[in-house]
Amino acid sequence: MIEKINSDIAKATKINLTQVKNAVKLFKDGNTLPFIARYRKEVTGFLNEIDLRNIEDKLIYFENLTKRKNEIIEILKKNNQQDNKLLLAIENAETNQILEDIYLPFKKRKKTKADNSREKGLEPVAEFLLKSRLKKDTFFDKFINADLNSREKVIEEALFIVAEDVANNIAVKEYMREFTLNRGIIISKKKKKEDPKSVYSHYYEFSQPIKYIQEYKILALLRGEKEKILSLKIEIPYQPFNKIAYLMKIHASLPYYDELMKAVEDSFKRLLYPSITNNIFSILQEKAQDKAIRIFAKNVRDVLLTPPLSKRKILGIDPGFRSGCKIVALDENGNFLEGTTIFPNPPKNDFQTSSAILANYLSKHKIELIAIGNGTASKETRDFVIKTCEKFGISISHIIVSEAGASVYSASKTAIDEFPDLDLTMRSAISIARRVLSPIDELVKIPPESIGVGMYQHDLDKKKLNKELTREVISVVNQIGVDLNNVSPYLLQYVSGLNLSRAKKIVEYRKKHLFKNRMEILNIPGIGEKTFELCAGFCRILGGNNFLDSTIIHPEMYKKVNLIFKKFALKMSSETNYAEFFSTIKYEDVSDFVTKESYKFIKDALLNKNYDPREQYPQPLTYFKTKSLEFIKVGESFDGTIKNITDFGLFVDLGLELDGLVYKNEYTQENTFFIGQIIKVKIKLIDLEKGRLSLGLI
């Protein structure tokens, strides 16, 4: 069975079969994707992480498909419905869609018109109508009875069986799906229910060919229909009765052709088209969801890769009006020092007292950066901070930080464990500040779907979304790696081979004595040889008793590394000039005990290549002063930071009270952008009434 699955995966992914076999075996042996991607390149033929993800996804898909096939076969056997032709069709089904199409006629369902006709013994009549080459009306006489009191009545009811056969025919269904996807038009109209905020105004009178409609419009239309504001339907340019008849082998030469065409028409209108329409909406929804999830996942990855503004004493502010602004001071390691509440904004407007407290915090704790949440009262709080700094002659920059998920964190068990004596809002302010010091360390404490960089996330398949976002978190954490003596259990749990339970045991062990080398990981209860193999290369130890433990070189390679350096009598340490060393030797000098690819990996690792991908990302923008929207002009240019990427455009932070939007028609390649990227834009439209700021790319 695994041979067929491997073959199916290779066909679906267009990856060499041998590479697929080797990758599947590694997965089956309990290896993680990050481990395979980094440390088993030679086994997989140097497949990258994307290829391995595709193989892993298809492995799960085809295993589930095989499981479903076996379930269906068992059901058919139990009901004594199977035959060799049917079993072969099930075995050869390449997709879930085809498999379920095959099984549909055998599913338990409400009694149909065709079922009633079969109970009346009319299956031979349906078969005669389809296969007879001679017109022989007397054939129907033996089926006439009190209920079926004429030849016409016998034929009429037998045609219900033909109609159902048409609707269940695999070739017909595949054709209709393809035809509707290529030629169909989605039409949306406003229903009687009110749309108070005119959210769906674009779709009150809307039509667009299916093959050209953007995925985000699909999600909006389906949500509008779910909320009973919109009605949706699909129209096609014509009803392809002749093509359906051809696929059913209903030819004009048949003596009962006219009767059979009535069955085709009845099938199309009553069974086939309604079913296909529902199926098309499901296909479009899945496609749109997959696109939104891909965008969401990429955005989460980019946010996690935001470079830390580390080793700075920072003041975090969770803005508010009536409840006040919560301010917290943290040291350069993110440790909480002090916090309080001030009321600079309406309704209290206590500027004097609030500014005095803020100035005192800035001075007392030698604050180097102020982090302000972007939620309610963010603009007013930023204005207050700028005025306070001007009043007291303080020169400290500030940064606006996404609050997404801060409330989720502040009420979580993690936050309670970290700060049991603080209230929710203080924990929220701490989270805001720590997201600047080290975004990834703080963001892994909340569910990735709460990070707030997605699109239509409430319309998405929660299970699929969580899986993809978690996979991005795992990928990023393992790319960066962790300092074993300094990492939190919430970040450590995502390291290859570990989970939260094991991570907490590692941290407990560390509290008693710091790690001196990677081999000590094996001292942790519940961590055996396999777990050690999977996690060791991603857990680094700085300042330990083995320099290699501070690199991404896996312990399984230490012997080879030592042989290289022993041959040239060079001692390894953090002081060694590895660039100079590798400039003096060639691979051929060490080819007797290391492969070419292993040598390249060791060399790159010691030259600090492929270490921290965050180094490729720009440092976040900070501000001393900002402009108000009232004073900006159309045509004015700004440097801005991309805060969110959606299917219809880029949301950009310009240091104003409102993010601007660069619409999709301004650019062609969405993959050239990433969250955190700094771009130059110009103001195209300012609509203060609707709170809209339209931007153009420079």
Spatial neighbors of 102 by CB under 8 A, at least 6 apart, are 86, 89, 90, 93, 170
Cβ within 8 Å of residue 465, ≥6 positions away: 293, 296, 449, 454, 457
Q: pLDDT at position 610, please?
A: 57
Q: Indicate left, alpha or beta for 503 from its phi (over 0: left) and psi (-120 to 50: alpha).
A: alpha
* Same domain membership, residue 28 and residue 177: no
- The pTM score is 0.89
Please check the confidence at residue 202 and state whether its pLDDT lies above 90.
yes
Exposure of 402 by Cβ count < 10 A (0-12 exposed, 13-18 middle, 19+ buried)?
A: buried
| C-alpha–C-alpha distance, residues 500 and 507, integer Å | 10
Candidates 191, 192, 437, 146; CA nearest to 314 is 437
Q: How many domains does the chain have?
A: 5
What average pLDDT does the segment 580-584 reach?
93
Q: Is residue 448 part of a domain?
A: no
Answer positive or negative: Cα dihedral of 481, 493, 328, 350. positive
- 190 within some domain: yes
Q: Which residues contact 698 (CB under 8 A, 6 or more apart)?
A: 637, 680, 681, 682
Between these two residues, 563 and 82, which has the higher pLDDT value? 563
Confidence of residue 621 (pLDDT cuts 50, 70, 90): confident
For residues 132 and 255, the answer to whether their CB atoms sit within 8 Å is yes
**HSE-up (13 A, CA, CB side) for residue 443:** 32
Q: What is the CATH number of the domain that holds 606?
A: 1.10.150.310
Do the Cβ atoms of 267 and 273 come closer than 8 Å? no
The percentage of the chain sitting over the pLDDT mark of 70, rounded to a whole number, equals 99
How many Å apart are CA 176 and CA 243, to the nearest integer?
10
Provide the pLDDT confidence category of residue 334 given band limits of 50, 70 and 90.
Answer: very high
- Judge whether 568 lies within some domain: yes
Backbone angles phi, psi at 158, to 5 degrees: -65, -30
Same domain for 127 and 100: no
My answer on whether 289 and 146 are in the same domain is: yes
The yes-or-no verdict on residue 189 having pLDDT over 90 is yes
Residues 67 and 209 in one domain: no
Q: What is the pLDDT of residues 176-187, one digit of tens each?
A: 999 999 999 999
Torsion angle in degrees (nearest 10) through CA of 272, 277, 283, 287 = 160
Question: Which CATH number characterizes residue 124's domain?
Answer: 1.10.3500.10
Q: Where are the beta strands (DSSP E) in 321-368?
A: 325-330, 336-342
pLDDT digits (tens, 9 = 90+) for 394-442: 999 999 999 999 999 999 999 999 999 999 999 999 999 999 999 999 9
Beta bridge partners of 188: 206, 232
User: d(Cα 57, Cα 51) in Å, to the nearest integer?
Assistant: 10
58: Cβ–Cβ under 8 A, 6 or more apart, which residues?
8, 9, 12, 13
pLDDT above 70 (res 609)? no
- pLDDT (0 to 100) of residue 458: 79
CATH of the domain at 8: 1.10.10.650
Are 101 and 117 found together in one domain? Answer: no
Dump pLDDT digits (tens) for 153-177: 999 999 999 999 999 999 999 999 9
Domain-located, residue 467:
no
Radius of gyration of the chain (CA): 33
Residue 306 falls inside a structural domain = no
**Axis-axis angle for helices 170-183, 96-103 (nearest 10):** 130
Q: For residue 444, tell me if it sits in a domain.
A: no
Q: What is the mean pLDDT of the chain?
A: 93
CATH classification at residue 636:
2.40.50.140
Q: Which amino acid would we find at residue 174?
A: E
Q: Both 365 and 267 in a single domain? A: no
Among the listed residues 106, 109, 113, the one whose alpha carbon sits nearest the alpha carbon of residue 74: 106
Cα gap 193→167, rounded to integer Å: 35
68/127 same-domain check: no
- 139 & 288 share domain: yes
Q: What is the pLDDT of residues 117-144, one digit of tens each?
A: 999 999 999 999 999 999 999 999 999 9
Interval 329-347 mean pLDDT: 96
Q: Which two tokens stand for residue 684?
A: 């195209």
Q: For residues 503 and 412, state if they share a domain.
A: no
Is there a domain that residue 32 lies in?
Answer: yes
| Claim to verify: residue 98 and residue 124 sit in the same structural domain | no
What's residue 670's pLDDT? Answer: 65
- HSE-up (13 A, CA, CB side) for residue 470: 13
Residue 464, domain member (yes or no): no
Q: Is the model's pLDDT at 344 over the cut of 90? A: yes
Please indicate, yes or no, whether residues 131 and 278 belong to a single structural domain of this protein. yes
**Please, which pLDDT band fits residue 485 given cuts at 50, 70 and 90?**
very high
**Percentage above 90 pLDDT, the chain:** 82
pLDDT at residue 255 is higher than 70: yes
Which of 106, 125, 156 corresponds to the end of one domain? 106
Q: What range does the domain containing 332 cover?
A: 314-437
Last residue of a domain, one of 419, 437, 455: 437
* 239-243, 266-270, 476-480, 565-569: the lowest-pLDDT one: 565-569
**327 & 428 share domain:** yes
All residues at 6 or more sequence positions from 592 whose CB lies less than 8 Å from its CB, including other chains: none
Residue 16: the pLDDT is 97
Given 71, 106, 141, the domain boundary residue is: 106
- Burial of 579: CB neighbours in 10 Å, binned 0-12, 13-18, 19+: exposed
- Assess contact for 71 and 62: CB atoms under 8 A: no
